[in-house]
Amino acid sequence: MEIIKGVPLTSYILLCSMLFSIGVLGVLYRRNALVIFMCIELMLNSVNLLLVAFSRYYSDSNAQVFVFFIMAVAAAEVSVGLAILMMIYRNTKTTDIDALNKLKF
């Protein structure tokens, strides 16, 4: 079967670090709550990929099961998060997080 010839684990670690950083960058850079949320999904996704790479490296199924739980939690989080966004949109007609500034020091 397809064994990854010549792709060191470090490549996967670097790839996932980059994806994770891009996710963090997006969270800080964007103001639209929906896009911020997508960037968080991107972060979780990079974690998943890294776990699968490690699982392959250690020949250990535990990490893949962990990925399973992360997916489950991501799905639950999305359903709640989008419900929150919809609720806010009903009140404010925007998903821009700067429009919500009632609570300031």
Partner 1 sequence: MNEIIIVASLGILTLLAEIFNFKKLILPLVVAGLAANIVVGIMEFDLASYYNDADTLRMIESDLYAKCFMMLLSIIALVWVLVNYNFFSDETNQTDHLALILFAIVGGFCMVAYTNFVMLFLGIEILSIPMYVLAGSNKRSLRSNEATLKYFLMGSFATGILLFGITLIYGSIGSFYVYDVRMKTASVDFTITPMFTIGVVMLIAAMAFKVSSAPFHFWAPDVYSGSPTSVTSFMATFVKTAAIAAFMRLFITAFPTAIESYKNVFFILIIASLFIGNIIAVFQTNAKRLLAYSSISHVGFMLLALLCLSEATSLKSLFFYTTAYSFTTLAAFLVLKIVSENASGDDDISVFNGLAQRNPLLAGTMTIALLSMAGIPPLSGFFAKYNMLFMALNHGYLWLVIIAILASLVGVYYYFKIIIAMFTRNSTDSTAIPLSLLQKSLLVLLMLIIITIGWNGWVFNLI
Partner 2 sequence: MITQYLFYFLTFTAIFCALLVVFSKNPIYSALYLIVTFFATAGHYFLLNAQFLGAVHVIVYAGAIMVLFIYVIMMLNLNKEVEPHKSNIIKIAATVCGGILGLVLIAALRETELGEITEYSNNGIGLIEKLGNVLFGAYMVPFEISTVLFLSAMVGAVFLSKKNIH
**Contact positions with partner 2 (CB under 8 A) in 86-105:** 86-87, 89, 94-96, 98
| Segment 41 to 70, residues that bind partner 1, using CB under 8 A | 43-44, 46-47, 50-51, 54, 58, 60, 62-63, 65-66, 69-70
Supply φ then ψ for residue 3, to 5 degrees: -95, 135
| Segment 6 to 35, residues that bind partner 2, using CB under 8 A | 6-15, 17-26, 28-32, 34-35
Nearest one of 74, 65, 25 to 45, comparing CA atoms: 74
List of long-range contacts for 74-79, beta carbons under 8 Å, 24+ apart: 74/41, 74/44, 78/37, 78/41
Residue 102 binds which entry of partner 2, partner 1, none, CB below 5-8 Å type-dependent:
partner 1
